[in-house]
């Protein structure tokens, strides 16, 4: 059996009858730039997230950067974010001229550890940017309480969390503004790059509309120095076809995750924990295991693709040498980077395939014996 890490083709086959005409209709209308499909998707996605405004942009990265710029955060400012994240989160901060200040992750959820945020606040801090990593929302009540106390903004990096919830409230509605990614492999993916910002703030939404479109509302009248970060009309048309399926697809992911957890129970492998407050959508299914590289190789031989999210923490990347962090600064993030392994997960991954993957892992681990299990301190904190 061949099990890809994500299967974009089988999802396309499911919606081909709807998505093909939706894309063709854009070509027939010819409204390629900020066309009707963009406004339509923005309206429905805002409604889905339970916010007043959605502004479509050309990637999740741009969504994050445009948020930072819309709030006039830049040189001299600091933004606190998770040490355990994809580098786009911090690039958005540093490319806008501000400094990303990192905080280690919670050992159980892998998200920013809210209890360590206050120690990172300085007189320059303007915002906290939690990341809803792997599809599980960060502890937003704790984060919002800290933000209120210190008069800081809260921006969600919801790139991996379309449709996730926190105490019943939607990701994207939990801070001052939120960034989504519609990169094809994300749980709500376009057929190319795409992203969006959600917010309840009318002024910020207006400013984002200017910033994404070279600073103009009326053609050739430029109120501010903007960028070209518009959501492509064809991508918006694809997203509008997909959005009504998102909850069903997320439910399938959750089911696959539950099946993995059942089948891997009792083995020397740490499966994901879902916090009480979270409705995890399992954009990624990340386990931890000793001797990860050998397991990866073994699974590859069995036709099973895996991934690493992420193999080198941000503070140890050459690109961020300037931040002056050292190995040892974020011990949980660092320890996890050595042992994490992302298993295949997507809405079309049925029980038979999950059982095949879990069976291969079981065979590998039971042939190895107990010496290889993770130290308990790392396994369960």
Region near ligand PLP per CB under 6 A, out of 15-23, 58-66, 214-222, 285-293: 58-66
Closest CA to 17 of 250, 292, 272, 241: 241
> Which residues in the 8-27 window bind ligand PLP by CB under 6 A?
none
Minimum CB distance to ligand PLP smaller for 85 or for 173: 85
Residue 285 in the binding site for ligand PLP (CB under 6 A): no
The tokens describing 278, both together, are 């979270």
Q: Which is nearer to ligand PLP, 242 or 353 (CB)?
A: 242
- Binders of ligand PLP among residues 69 to 98 (CB under 6 A) are 85-86, 88-89
Give the count of beta carbons closer than 10 Å to the beta carbon of residue 252: 18
Q: Nearest-CA neighbor of 237 among 50, 28, 53?
A: 28
Peptide bond into 310 cis (omega under 30): yes
What residue is closest to ligand PLP based on CB? 60
**Per-residue binder mask for ligand PLP (CB under 6 A), 305-334, x = binder:** ------------------------------
Which is closer to ligand PLP, CB of 161 or CB of 365? Answer: 161
What is the smallest separation between the CB atom of 82 and ligand PLP, expressed in angstroms? 9
Which runs of consecutive H residues, i.e. helices, occur in the chain? 8-29, 36-49, 60-70, 87-95, 140-150, 202-212, 233-242, 246-264, 292-301, 331-339, 351-366, 376-379
Asked whether position 181 contacts ligand PLP by CB under 6 A, the answer is yes
235 forms part of the interface with ligand PLP (CB under 6 A): no
Work out how close the CB of 74 gets to ligand PLP at its nearest, in angstroms, rounded to a whole number: 19
Q: Pick the piece of the chain touching ligand PLP (CB under 6 A) from 56-64, 93-101, 165-173, 213-221.
A: 56-64
191 binds ligand PLP per the rule CB under 6 A: no
Residue 187 found at the interface with ligand PLP (CB under 6 A) = no
Instruction: Determine, following the binding rule CB under 6 A, whether residue 231 of this chain makes contact with ligand PLP.
Output: no
Nearer to ligand PLP, 131 or 178 (CB): 131
Q: Which residue has the tokens 């050739």?
A: 220
| Integer angstrom CA distances of residue 2 from 191, 258, 295, 357 | 23, 21, 16, 10
Q: CA–CA separation, 55 vs 206, rounded Å?
A: 9
Count of chain residues binding ligand PLP (CB under 6 A): 15
User: Minimal distance in Å, beta carbon 378 to ligand PLP?
Assistant: 23
Residue among 6 and 131 whose Cβ is closer to ligand PLP: 131
Contacts of 221 (CB under 8 A, 6+ apart): none
How far from 304 is each of 74, 98, 292, 298, CA to CA, in Å? Answer: 44, 41, 14, 9
Q: What is the DSSP secondary-structure string of 44-96?
A: HHHHHHT-SEEEEES-HHHHHHHHHHHTT--TT-EEEEESSS-HHHHHHHHHT
Q: Report how far residue 122's alpha carbon sits from residue 3's, in angstroms, rounded to the nearest whole number.
A: 47
CB count within 10 Å of CB 247 equals: 12
Does 259 contact ligand PLP by CB under 6 A? no
The reply to whether 59 sits near ligand PLP by the rule CB under 6 A is yes
Residues in region 125-164 near ligand PLP by CB under 6 A: 131, 157, 159-160
Q: Any idea what DSSP says for residue 230?
A: B
Residue 172 in contact with ligand PLP, rule: CB under 6 A: no
Q: Which residue ranges make up the site for ligand PLP (CB under 6 A)?
A: 59-61, 85-86, 88-89, 131, 157, 159-160, 181, 183, 193, 195
């Amino acid at each position: 059996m061949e099990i890809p890490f994500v299967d974009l083709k089988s999802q396309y086959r499911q919606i081909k009858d709807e998505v093909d005409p939706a894309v063709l209709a854009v070509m027939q209308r010819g409204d390629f730039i900020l066309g009707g499909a963009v406004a339509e998707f923005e309206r429905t996605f805002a409604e889905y997230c339970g916010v007043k405004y959605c502004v479509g942009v050309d990637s999740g990265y741009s969504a994050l950067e445009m948020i930072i710029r819309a709030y006039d955060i830049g040189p001299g400012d600091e933004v606190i974010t998770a040490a355990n994240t994809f580098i786009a989160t911090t690039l958005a901060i540093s490319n806008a001229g501000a400094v990303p200040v990192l905080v280690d992750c919670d050992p159980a959820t892998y998200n920013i550890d809210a209890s360590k945020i206050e120690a990172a606040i300085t007189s320059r801090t303007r915002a906290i940017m939690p990341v809803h990593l792997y599809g599980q929302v960060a502890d937003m009540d704790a984060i919002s309480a800290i933000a209120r106390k210190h008069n800081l903004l809260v921006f969600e990096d919801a790139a991996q969390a379309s449709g996730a919830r926190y105490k019943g409230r939607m990701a994207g509605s939990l801070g001052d503004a939120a960034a989504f990614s519609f990169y094809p492999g994300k749980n709500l993916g376009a057929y190319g790059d795409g992203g969006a910002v959600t917010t309840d703030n009318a002024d910020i939404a207006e400013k984002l509309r200017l910033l994404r479109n070279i600073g103009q509302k009326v053609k050739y009248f430029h109120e501010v120095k903007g960028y070209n970060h518009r959501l492509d009309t064809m991508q918006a048309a694809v997203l509008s076809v997909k959005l009504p399926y998102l909850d069903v697809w997320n439910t399938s992911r959750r089911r696959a995750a539950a099946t993995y957890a059942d089948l891997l129970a009792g083995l020397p492998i740490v499966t994901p924990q879902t916090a009480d407050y979270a409705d995890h959508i399992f954009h990624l299914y990340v386990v931890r295991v000793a001797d990860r590289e050998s397991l990866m190789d073994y699974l590859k031989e069995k036709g099973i693709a895996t991934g690493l999210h992420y193999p080198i923490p941000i503070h140890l990347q050459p690109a961020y040498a300037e931040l002056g962090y050292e190995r040892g600064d974020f011990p949980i993030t660092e320890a996890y980077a050595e042992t994490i392994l992302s298993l295949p997960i997507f809405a079309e991954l049925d029980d038979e395939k999950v059982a095949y993957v879990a069976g291969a892992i079981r065979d590998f681990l039971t042939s190895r014996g107990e010496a290889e299990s993770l130290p308990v301190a790392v396994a369960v904190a």
